[in-house]
Amino acid sequence: MTFMELAKNRFSERHFDPRPVEREKLDRILEAGRVAPTACNYQPQVVYAIQSPEAMAKARSTRASLYGCPVALLVCYDSDIVWRNPRDRCYEDYNAGEQDASIVAASMMFEAEELGIHSLWIRGFDSKDVIDAFGLPANHVPVMMLALGYPGEKSHPAHLHAKRKPLNDTVREL
C-alpha cells in the first residue's frame, strides 16, 4: 500500500474491539513517534502509554472519549526543552512544542494504520483534568491522546470521512 492509499483509508475509529494491541505492534507505533521530526531535533515529546485498567480509568475520568480502546497514548511535550523562536515578533515566546507533539502523534497514527491498528485523535478534554488525573509534572504539556485498537464489528468511517475540499480551496499560490 502506498502512503497516499494509507492516508485515504485511515479514519477515526469509534468502535474499538476490546482485544489488546500486541506489545511488538505497540513498540513499532512508539518507535514511529520516536523517529518523527521535531524542531531543531530537540525531541521534546513525552508519550505516556495508557494500558492498565487503573490508567484507563484515570483517562476516562478526564472525560476524554476513548470509545472502548484498549490502549491510549497521551502525547505531551516537555516545555523545558522545546525549541523557541526568538525571532517571532507576533508571538512572544513562541515554541514548537504543540507542532512537534502533533508530528509525533501523526507518525504514530499512520504506523498504527500500517499495522492494522485503528486510531482516534482525541483533543476534547480539559488539560487540567489530564494533568491532575495522571499527576503530570508542570513541564509536561498535554497535546492530545491517540486511542488505539483493532476495529470492532460496527467499525466504519464517519459519513463525512471522504468529503474533502478541492485542492484549489485549500492551497494558495504565492
The predicted-structure confidence for 85-118, as pLDDT tens digits, reads as follows: 988 889 888 999 999 999 999 999 999 999 999 9
Is 164 inside any structural domain?
no
Q: Name the DSSP letter for residue 84.
A: B
- Write out the residue range of the structural domain in which residue 74 sits: 13-154
Nearest residue to 33 via CA among 136, 132, 148: 148
CATH number assigned to the domain comprising residue 134 = 3.40.109.10
Nearest residue to 38 via CA among 78, 73, 67: 78
Confidence of residue 28 (pLDDT cuts 50, 70, 90): very high
pLDDT, residue 86, reads: 87
Q: Name the DSSP letter for residue 31.
A: H
Is 43 inside any structural domain?
yes
If one counts the domains in the chain, the total is 1
Question: What pTM, to 2 d.p., does this model score?
Answer: 0.95
C-alpha cell at 148: 488505539
Judge contact between 123 and 19, C-beta under 8 A. Answer: no
Is 83 inside any structural domain?
yes
Is 115 inside any structural domain?
yes
Q: Rounded CA gap, 171 and 68, in Å?
A: 37
Which secondary-structure segment (H or E) carries 113?
helix 97-114
Is 68 inside any structural domain?
yes
Is 74 inside any structural domain?
yes
**Does 1 have pLDDT greater than 90?**
no
By DSSP bridging, strand 118-122 and strand 45-50 are unpaired
3-state secondary structure of 106: helix
Order of strands, edge to edge, in the sheet holding 71-78?
45-50, 71-78, 140-149, 118-122
Q: Rounded CA gap, 17 and 109, in Å?
A: 17
